Amino acid sequence: MPTDWHLNFFRDVALDFWRLAMSPEITAAEVKTLERVLEIQPGARLLDVPCGNGRHAIELAKRGCRMTGVDSSIEYIAEARAAPIEAEWIAGDMCDLPWPDAFDGAYCFGNSFGYLDRPAAGVFLAGISRCLKPGGRFAIATGMAAESILPGLLQKRWHRTGDILTLSEARYHEAAGRLDIDYTFIRNGTVETRPTASYVFTVAEMCRMHAEAGLETIGLRQWDDSGPFRLASPGLLMVSRKR
């Protein structure tokens, strides 16, 4: 599986699927969680990476935050730039973060951390640490922690989201610690299959990688912040702080 699969995956029907799946209510709840776990203060400068179409960053900008969003999807960055708010939108690699000591906080939502293999994840976390001011907080929300995804992994699943019918077919590669999922989108008689690959890390390994990057883990929660993370929790919200 090519490591840059996401460059071709995130366009047209796949983006429409995600837009339909992420309702305004979901976004509002996630933004409240971010405000809480990042301890966001008025006027805070925040980094959203990868930002997608900016659904979190736009809402945070409306609440007075100074936002920078980075994403490799040209289509999503164009959509974010069309929003009637002031923010910095950058089309680029999530591992290329050239802003030393610039941000009060940062976050990586939507399973995006799993796009990175072990070396790339280290580069990404080092970049996050470099970008944060001392004491700045970083939050990851992911459903790809090993303790979440593996206990109940289904090889095939059907989803209906609006007018899009989606089949996901999963294969786990134990030696690589990688989950490959082929998504078949069916809409208006058109059928298209696109492959994805996500690396599956244990929570302990994620904590070690954060520590190597100078980020101290301060919270392991359910991804809606409703309680502590446990084996088979549907998702992980991991919060760290720059030393």
Res. 71: pLDDT tops 90: yes
Please name the CATH architecture into which domain 148-197 falls: Roll (3.10)
| Helix (H) or strand (E) segment spanning residue 215 | strand 215-222
Select from 88, 41, 51, 98 the least CA-distant residue to 68: 88
Tokens of 187: 């809409």
Say what the pLDDT of residue 2 is. 62
What is the reported pLDDT for 52? 94
* Secondary structure of residue 203 in the 3-state scheme: helix
pLDDT digits (tens, 9 = 90+) for 170-186: 999 999 999 999 999 99
Contact 202, 231 (CB under 8 A): no
Of 220, 200, 221, 217, which Cα lies nearest the Cα of 208? 217
Give phi and psi for 35, each to the nearest 5.
-60, -40
How do strand 215-222 and strand 236-242 relate by DSSP bridges? antiparallel
pTM above 0.85, yes or no: yes
Question: What pLDDT sits at residue 210?
Answer: 98
Q: From its phi and psi, is residue 223 left (phi > 0), alpha (psi between -120 and 50) or beta?
A: alpha
Which class in CATH covers the domain with range 6-146+201-242? Answer: alpha beta
Supply the DSSP symbol for 237.
E
Q: Are 202 and 193 in contact (CB under 8 A)?
A: no
- Measured from the Cβ of residue 118, the count of other Cβ atoms closer than 10 Å reads 11
CA distances from 105 to 1, 18, 65, 171, 191 (A): 33, 25, 11, 35, 41
- Model confidence at 3, pLDDT cuts 50, 70, 90, reads low
Cα-based distances in Å from 163 to 2, 111, 191: 30, 23, 13
* In the chain, where the domains are located: 6-146+201-242, 148-197
